[in-house]
Amino acid sequence: MSSTNKQREQKSQNNKAEVDSKNLGVNENAEDLKKVINDTKKVNSSEPDNSGIFQKLISNGKNLLLGIVGTISAAAIPIWQIYFVETSDVLIEIASISRIKSPSFKVPLETDELVLLEPYISDEFLYEYNALGERGDRIDYPIFTMETLNQAYDKAKQDLKNISITKANLQENILRIDSYLDSNNIQFLLTEFRVSELKQWDLSNYIDDAEAVYYEEQVLKITRSYSQMKFIEGSGPQIKLDSLEYLLKDVKEDITDVITSNDKLLEVLRDNIRSIETQLDKLREEQISKNTFFKVEVVASNSGRVSTSLRPMALMRVQISDDNYVDIRLLMNNYRQRAELQPSSTNIIHYRSTELLTFPSEDQSLINTFWGSTGRVRLFTLDTKHNVFSSNQIAFVDNLNQKVMIDKLKEVATRNML
More confident residue, 223 or 107: 107
- Please state, for a pLDDT cut of 90, what percent of the chain lies above it: 30
Residue 23 pLDDT class (50, 70, 90 cuts): very low
pLDDT digits 0-9 by tens, 290-321:
999 999 999 999 998 899 999 999 999 999 88
Start-to-end CA span in the chain (Å): 152
Taking alpha carbons only, the member of 166, 358, 339 closest to residue 255 is: 166
Helix axes 163-181, 146-161, angle to 10 degrees: 70
- Amino acid occupying residue 134: E
What integer is the mean pLDDT of 366-371?
91
pLDDT band per the 50, 70, 90 thresholds, residue 359: very high
What pLDDT score does 125 carry?
A: 87
Phi and psi angles of residue 227, each rounded to the nearest 5 degrees, phi first: -65, -20
- What is the rounded CA–CA span in Å between residue 206 and residue 399? 41
d(CA 295, CA 133): 34
Q: What is the mean pLDDT of the chain?
A: 80
CB 327, CB 317: distance < 8 Å: yes
**Mean pLDDT, residues 59-72:** 65
> Which CATH architecture describes the domain 90-101+291-417?
Sandwich (2.60)
pLDDT at 206 over 90: no
Q: What percent of the chain has pLDDT over 70?
A: 74
| Domain regions of the chain by residue span | 2-71, 90-101+291-417, 143-288
User: pLDDT band at 137, cuts 50/70/90?
Assistant: confident
pLDDT digits 0-9 by tens, 77-127:
555 455 545 677 899 999 989 999 998 899 999 899 999 999 899 888 888
Most confident of 20-34, 188-202, 250-264: 250-264
Query: Who wins on pLDDT, 185 or 53?
Result: 185
Would you state the pLDDT for residue 74?
A: 58
**Residue 293 confidence (pLDDT):** 95
pLDDT tens-digit series, residues 170-185: 999 899 888 888 888 8
Grade residue 39 by pLDDT with cuts at 50, 70 and 90: low
Apex CA 365: angle with CA 363 and CA 369, to 5°? 115
What's the confidence (pLDDT) of residue 24?
43
Could you tell me which residues are beta bridge partners of residue 298?
A: 94, 349
pLDDT tens digits, 230-268: 555 555 566 777 888 888 888 899 889 888 888 887 788
Q: Where residue 70 falls among pLDDT bands split at 50, 70, 90? A: low
